[in-house]
Amino acid sequence: MNPIPKHIAIIMDGNGRWAVSHGRPRIEGHRKGIEAVENITMAANDLGVSYLTLYAFSEENWDRPLEEVKALMGLLVEFLELKRQKLVDKGVKFTTIGDFDRLPDVVKKAIDDTKKATANCKKMNLIVALSYGARAEICRALQHAIESGVKNVTPETLAPYLDTVGIPDPDLLIRTSGELRVSNFLLWQIAYTEFYFTETLWPDFSLAQLEQAIESYRQRERRFGKTSEQL
Ligand code: FPP
């Protein structure tokens, strides 16, 4: 059995469908989604996960209706302001990946305040992907590496320029809502990540479901390109 995953990444999908199935506006699905964010963050922390990366807003999500984008940004700020102290109390260090410059000032401020408040937290790292796209991240990293004088581009020399510098690659990637794709999330970092897909919509994703995903992961044989006999 594998030990508990050190790093879990989650594509939190299905908020819109949850809302539709309950006869509610889409934004109510996102509001329920935030409750799941809080519950799963605390559950992962209690289970001893060291890194939890949540895909909250992709680069492509900027193309959603303006009202929905505004509402999502508002919910994010609300979450950070209301839960900042809880993150500190539980030892959760908050960071982000993605194109920070593109975010509205009010969101940047809430993020900066939360990063500062949780800077010394040591129990778990909560990494929220915002305005994030993996292809753009890789291009930014390459551009930065070239500008910094890197001559010999290798996985090792490029890694320090990725948004995820210092963060180990995810052991387990979970996607909710039955969609079987990775949607431009952490393409570089998931080279040897184990995938877990569930039909459950994100607002309904619970501790029991998280434990089920972890159990599935623990039973996998991770060979990293080697043979079973070599392990
Ligand atoms: C996917 O559901 C979900 C999103 C695009 C947003 C997820 C964001 C949150 C849950 C809030 C994040 C906040 C924090 C604090 C991390 P969808 O709208 O694509 O659902 P659908 O596919 O059913 O329409």
* Residue ranges covered by each domain of the chain: 7-133+169-222
The parts of the chain modelled with pLDDT lower than 50 are none
Q: In terms of CATH, what superfamily is 7-133+169-222?
A: Decaprenyl diphosphate synthase-like (3.40.1180.10)
d(CA 176, ligand 1 centre) in Å: 10
Sign of the four-CA dihedral 142, 147, 148, 153: positive
pLDDT at 223: 86
Determine the atom of ligand 1 nearest the C-alpha atom of 58. Answer: 5
pTM of the model: 0.97
Pick from 49, 50, 119, 54: nearest CA to 84: 119
Residues 6+ apart with CB under 8 A from 227: none
Determine the atom of ligand 1 nearest the C-alpha atom of 33. Answer: 10
**Protein residue with its CA nearest to atom 12 in ligand 1:** 56
Determine the atom of ligand 1 nearest the C-alpha atom of 179. Answer: 22
Ligand 1 near 30 CB (within 6 A): yes
pLDDT at 144: 97
- Residue 122 buriedness (CB in 10 A; 0-12 / 13-18 / 19+): exposed
pLDDT at 226: 87
d(CA 158, ligand 1 centre) in Å: 30
